[in-house]
Chains A and B, each alone.
Chain A
C-alpha cells in the first residue's frame, strides 16, 4: 500500500504505531501461551515421568504414539475403556446435566424479562438474585454444598431424618449419581444467571418492530418465540453453546473441591478430564508425557464439539440463498 503511494511526497504511516501498541500482548502471548502450547504438543510424543523410588526424571525421550496408545487402549486391550475416557465421559455427563436445564431456564427468563407485554415488576431485583451465585467463588460454593450434604449429620440429612421422612441418613457424596447431580446443580445454579444476561442482550438486539408486526398479524406468544425470537437469536445461542461447551469440558473447581479426597469420589465417577490431567502430571509418577497427550485429546474433543455446534447452528437459509445465486450464475454462464 505504502509503496504504491510513493508518488505522494510524504505520508505518515499511522498503521505502524498500532503494531507497537499491540506488540506487548503478542510478546506475552508467545512466551506464556504459544510456547507452552507447542511444548505440550512435543511432550505428548515423549516418555517423560519421574521414578518415585529414586525421585529421578525419566526422559523426555521421543516414544512416538505410545502415550496415546495407553490413553485409547486399556491394559486388557479394549478401546476407550481407560481412565482417560471415563474422565471424559464424566465431564460430558455432568456438562449435559447442567447445560440442558440451564439454557432452557435462561431462555425462558430472558424472554419473560424482555417481553413488552408481560412487564414483570421488580425486574432488577430478580436479575440480581439470579446473577448472585455467579459472584461467589466456586470454591466457597463447593465447600458450602459439601457441608450441606455431609454424612451423617449434614443439614440436609438432619432435615430429612429429624422430620421422619427418612429412617437413615443418606450418603449423598458416596453415591455416584447423587454426587454428579449435586455438581451439575451447582454449575447450573451458578451459570444460568450469566447465560440469561447474554440471551437477554441477544433478544434486546432484535428489532422491536418485528415483534410488533408479528403481534399485529395475530401471532401467539409461542409462535413469536418460535418463529421470530429463536431464529434471530441463533448467533447468540451459538456463542453461548460453544462457550459453555468449552467451559464445561474444562470443569474443574467444583468437582475437585466437593469431594473429600479431591480425586472424584466416589470411585472416580466425578473425576473430570482436567482433574485427571492434573493428577497425571503432578501426583504419582508425575507423567508429563501422558498428561500432555491427554491434553491434546481434550483439545481435539473440544474442537470437535465446537465444529459440530457450528454445523448444527449454521444459517441454512443463507447457505441456500448463496447456493441458489451460484447456481443461477452458472446457469447464466451456461446459457451464454
Chain B
C-alpha cells in the first residue's frame, strides 16, 4: 500500500512538473515582450535612439496596481513608446497603465498581431495596436478594430488632421473611422548639398529640382553624377529607394473593391527604371535597410535618398555620422520635391474589438493625435511632422522649421504643400505582401535573368498563389 501511495505521489509530481514546464514556457512567451516595456519615468529623452531594452524595474509597481487595468499597446519599434511618454507625461495615471510591447520586427508584426487577435481571453491581448500604411486596411476593414466614435472621439477632434490620414483608416464597409495617426508623411528628395555643388554645380533646392523634375531628367542627372565623380558617387543607394515614389503614383490600387488584381502601368515603369539603374550601374546596389545601406548617409558614395518626414530624422540624420554641424554629413543636406509628389508610411493607432477600457484607449489616442497644443509641443521637441495643420502652421510662423541638419532649410515649408497633396487612393489591404512578391520579380528582371513579360507573368502567378480568392487580370 505504501508503495502504491509513493508511486502515485511520484508520478503525480512528475506530471505536475511537466505541466508546470509547459505553463512556464507559456508564461515566458507572454512576459518576454514585457521586458521591452516601460512605465519608466516620463522624462526620458525623446531624441532618437532611446534605449531599446529599457528597465524591467518598472514591472514591480505595475504588478501592485490591479493587473487587469493594464493597457497593452503593440508596436514594432520604440518610436511610439517615446511619443507616448512625451505626450502623457502630465497624465501619469494613463502612462502607468500602458504595457508597451515592442514586437521588434516589422516583418513579423502582422503574424504576431493576427495570432493575438484570435485569442481575446489571453492576458496579453492587445488593447491598442499600431498599424503601418502597408496593411492598416486589413484591420480597419474588419470587426477587429473599434470605430473611434466608440472611444469618445468626436468629429471636432479630427478637424486639424490631414484628410488622407482619415481616408486611410476609414472602414470601407460603413465609413466609420477606425484609426488615428499623429504624423503626416509626405515625401521629398533629400540630397547632399556639397556633392551637388561639386558635381553638378547646383547651389539651391530650386536648381536641384530643375535637374530632377522628370524621370528622364533624373536618369540624366544620375549619369552625370556617376561620370563627374568617376563612379565614386551614385545618385541612390539601393534600387528599391524609388519604390515608394512610384507606388504612391499608381493609377489604381493593386486590388480593387471587387477583388480584382491588376498590374499597374506605373509599376511597369518602375521595373524599367530599376533595370536602367542596375544595368547602367547608377546606384550602389545595396538593399534597403541593410547595414551597408544605413552606412550611406555618412559617406560620399550616395548622393541622395527619397524619404519622407520620419525618414529625415530616423534614417538620414541618425546615420549621418554626426550630431551637430561639422560632424559627419550633418548640415550638408537639402530637400526638394523630386520627379513626383509621393507619400510614405506613417503609423496609425487603433483600439481592438476586445479593448478592456475603450475610454482610456480613446484618451490616449486623443492626446497623441488630436490635441493641438500637445502636438505643437511634440513637433517642436522631436521635429516630427505632426498630423495637425494648426500646429504645423504655428511652428512655421515661428520659424521653428529652420533645421540645422538641413543647413538651415525650413523643412516645414518643404513638406507643408506636399502634405496637402497626398492622395492615398493607391492603397489596399494587400500592399505589403504584393509589394514583396513584385520585388522578387523586379530583381530578376533588373539583373537580366528574365524578360519583362515573364517577370510580370511570374509576379501574377505568385499573387494568385498567395491570394487564391483574387481575380487576376
Residues of A2-52 at the interface with B, using a CB-CB cut-off of 8 Å, are 12, 17, 20-21, 23-24, 27-28, 49, 51-52
Query: Quick check: which of A184-192, A265-273, A300-308 contacts chain B, the rest being far away?
Result: A265-273
Given known contacts A28-B18, A52-B429, A75-B461, A282 and B111 CB-to-CB distance under 8 angstroms: yes
Asked whether B181 is an interface residue with its Cβ less than 8 Å from the other chain, the reply is no
Residues of A260-292 at the interface with B, using a CB-CB cut-off of 8 Å, are 260-263, 265-268, 279, 282-287, 290
Using an 8 Å CB-CB cutoff, how does the interface string of A46-84 with B read, 1 for contact, 0 for none?
A: 000101111110100000000000100001000000010
B255: contacting residue among A53, A55, A263, A287, CB under 8 A: A53
> For the complex, what is the distance from the CA of A12 to the CA of B259, rounded to whole Å?
71
The answer to whether B18 touches A24 (Cβ under 8 A) is yes
Find chain B residues with CB under 8 A from A225 CB.
none
> For the complex, what is the distance from the CA of A11 to the CA of B114, rounded to whole Å?
57
> For the complex, what is the distance from the CA of A150 to the CA of B285, rounded to whole Å?
11
Residues of B54-93 at the interface with A, using a CB-CB cut-off of 8 Å, are none
Find chain A residues with CB under 8 A from B462 CB.
83, 268
Nearest residue, chain B, Cβ from A168: B281
A-side binding surface: helix, strand, loop or mixed?
loop
Find chain A residues with CB under 8 A from B173 CB.
54
Residues of B426-451 at the interface with A, using a CB-CB cut-off of 8 Å, are 428-430, 433, 436, 439-441, 443-444, 447, 449-450
Residues of B236-260 at the interface with A, using a CB-CB cut-off of 8 Å, are 255, 257, 259
Residues of A111-160 at the interface with B, using a CB-CB cut-off of 8 Å, are 150-153
> For the complex, what is the distance from the CA of A55 to the CA of B285, rounded to whole Å?
36
The answer to whether B285 touches A49 (Cβ under 8 A) is no
Band of interface residues on B: 35 or more
B7: contacting residue among A20, A75, A83, A260, CB under 8 A: A20
Asked whether A171 is an interface residue with its Cβ less than 8 Å from the other chain, the reply is yes
Residue total for A at the interface (Cβ-Cβ under 8 A): 41
Given known contacts A53-B259, A284-B433, A267 and B441 CB-to-CB distance under 8 angstroms: yes
Asked whether A174 is an interface residue with its Cβ less than 8 Å from the other chain, the reply is yes
A268: contacting residue among B14, B259, B430, B440, CB under 8 A: B440
Nearest residue, chain A, Cβ from B115: A282
Using an 8 Å CB-CB cutoff, how does the interface string of B461-473 with A read, 1 for contact, 0 for none?
A: 1101111110000
B464: contacting residue among A54, A75, A266, A267, CB under 8 A: A75
Output the least CB separation between A44 and chain B (Å).
15
The answer to whether B466 touches A284 (Cβ under 8 A) is yes
A54: contacting residue among B22, B107, B141, CB under 8 A: B141
Find chain B residues with CB under 8 A from A290 CB.
468
The answer to whether B15 touches A23 (Cβ under 8 A) is yes
The answer to whether B441 touches A21 (Cβ under 8 A) is no
> For the complex, what is the distance from the CA of A287 to the CA of B464, rounded to whole Å?
12
Which 5 residue pairs of A and B lie closest in terms of their CB atoms, listed nearest first? A284-B466, A55-B142, A20-B11, A17-B7, A24-B15
